[in-house]
Chains A and B, each alone.
Chain A
Amino acid sequence: MSYPENLLYTKDHEWIKVDGERGTIGITDFAQSELGDIVYVELPKEGDTFAVHETFGSVESVKTVSEMFMPVSGTILEVNQALTENPELVNTDPYGAGWMIVVKIENPSELDSLMSASEYEDLINEGKER
């Protein structure tokens, strides 16, 4: 399981990479491994606006459908069109080619409540011990 240091994480297993006011968002390695083979990703349109914690899309494996939640409030700048044809990129490269959306971050202070890589890793390991 990998937890890149340069990302921030949510308890719902999304990650965000912050680059000025741009935030790239995806789901974590743990999330993709729990879901299994991903067959469909539903994403918003460019220009859509979402509040923090709001559902912005869903990701589906053969077994199940799982919603994705905004780590921060923002407007959608880009969506990963490659996932329409190749949703399995989320399995093979969750922190790279499997990214979901890029947002314009409305309120940078919301980033303060997100987890660091080590905090997120602790959360996952606690879950495993239960």
Chain B
Amino acid sequence: MSNKLTPLNEVHRRLGAKLISFAGWEMPVQYQGAVQEHLAVRTCAGLFDVSHMGEIEIKGNDALALVQKVTCNDASKLKDGQIQYSGLMTEKGTFVDDLLVHRLNAQHFLLCVNAANTEKDYAWICRHADQMNVEVLNTSDRYFQIALQGPLSLEILQPLTDTDLHSIKYYWFTFAKVANVPVMIARTGYTGEDGFEIYGQPEDAVPVWDAILDAGRPKGLVAAGLAARNTLRLEAKMMLYGNDIDETTSVLEADLGWILKLNKGDFLGREVLEKQKQAGVQRKIVGFEVLDKAPARDGYPIIVDSAEYGKVTSGSPSPYLKKNIGLAYLPTEKAVVGYEFAILVRGRQVPARVVETPFYKRKKN
């Protein structure tokens, strides 16, 4: 099966990107270099094509009720124009997906979901929409999505838009024009930096991308690929679906208690999660630092008390911190800062230590 192309595919080729297959899409993994792109986002800004991300819209009088039923966070707290990180739940309180819930109004929600899960999520939501007065739409093909991330994002984007970007608070969005093109601008991201995620119609993707990149270049803006996106989100300890969370990991095991609102009313997985919260979970995700020069990578076995215990869910050299970092599940009683365990790196046991997370936290202005 051939990969889907985003509306920016030609642009990536023009910029000399290295293209890879990712979640059924041909995506840029890097342009000039993953480390350079990573550091640009930490110090200036980076521009990412994330048009592969899925969009699912829920419309109708029961839109909020349906969102509440399938997700674990409390969407009733959202006001028009506000965004919430949440989990799409199985009956077991594990993740069908993690997602951003955007409230356009009480009868209209837009969910931004992982590319690889879009079809699955759509089917799952439809299945639970029975008897409800709603319309569930997979509108992924109607949007491009560009992420402008980094401390200079606002400065770069402001001259191109008619809206005052300062007025968009973190995890809020608005409709505006960028480069004279109508778009939705959300103050969200997957890098641990300030920034914006811009949604618009596919045919407008190229002019918006070009306008931002041209305006930002003199300030140090670079095009950035999936490799940098992954190392940036790992430093910020943001979960990657399929690695750190999936249908076998519960919200509490993933240490995402802050998106779990057990008192909001019934939802998928609530009973199980309530019991888990009372009884405690057997394992918990931690951030670790490798105490060796050898990087620990996704899937490397973890050794706890001389026995294999799961695998590294995400592991990489950290370009900004210049350490080898990663995430893994440990038995709850060992999931404490300072605990030391081992990771099997090509047959050799290397020591690792549980550390405070996020590994990287930006300084607030």
- Residue numbers of A with Cβ under 8 A of B are 36-37, 39-40, 42, 58, 60-63, 65, 84
Contact = CB atoms under 8 A, between A and B. Distances in A.
Contact of B317 (A40, A42, A58): A40
A58 B293 CA distance: 13
Contacts of B34: 36-37, 61-63
A123 B39 CA distance: 34
B314 to A, nearest CB: 13
B346 A42 contact: yes
Given A36-B33, A36-B35, A37-B33, A62 B319 contact: yes
Interface of B: 29-30, 33-36, 38, 227, 231, 293-295, 297, 316-317, 319, 346
A42 B34 CA distance: 21
Q: Interface residues of B: mostly helix, strand, loop or mixed?
A: mixed
Contacts of B346: 42, 58
30 contacts: A36-B30, A36-B33, A36-B34, A36-B35, A37-B33, A37-B34, A37-B35, A37-B36, A39-B317, A40-B293, A40-B294, A40-B317, A42-B294, A42-B346, A58-B346, A60-B294, A60-B295, A60-B317, A61-B34, A62-B35, A62-B38, A62-B231, A62-B316, A62-B317, A62-B319, A63-B30, A63-B34, A63-B227, A65-B297, A84-B293
7 tightest CB-CB pairs across the interface, nearest first? A37-B35, A39-B317, A63-B227, A62-B317, A62-B34, A36-B33, A62-B35
Nearest to B32: A36
A40 B295 contact: yes
Contacts of B227: 62-63
Contacts of A40: 293-295, 317
Contacts of B30: 36, 63
Given A37-B33, A40-B293, 9 more contacts: A36-B30, A60-B294, A62-B34, A62-B35, A62-B227, A63-B29, A63-B227, A65-B297, A84-B293
Contacts of A37: 33-36, 319
A54 to B, nearest CB: 14
A127 to B, nearest CB: 13
Nearest to A55: B346
B33 to A, nearest CB: 5
A63 B231 CA distance: 9
Contacts of A61: 34
B230 to A, nearest CB: 9
Contacts of B33: 36-37
Contacts of A42: 294, 346
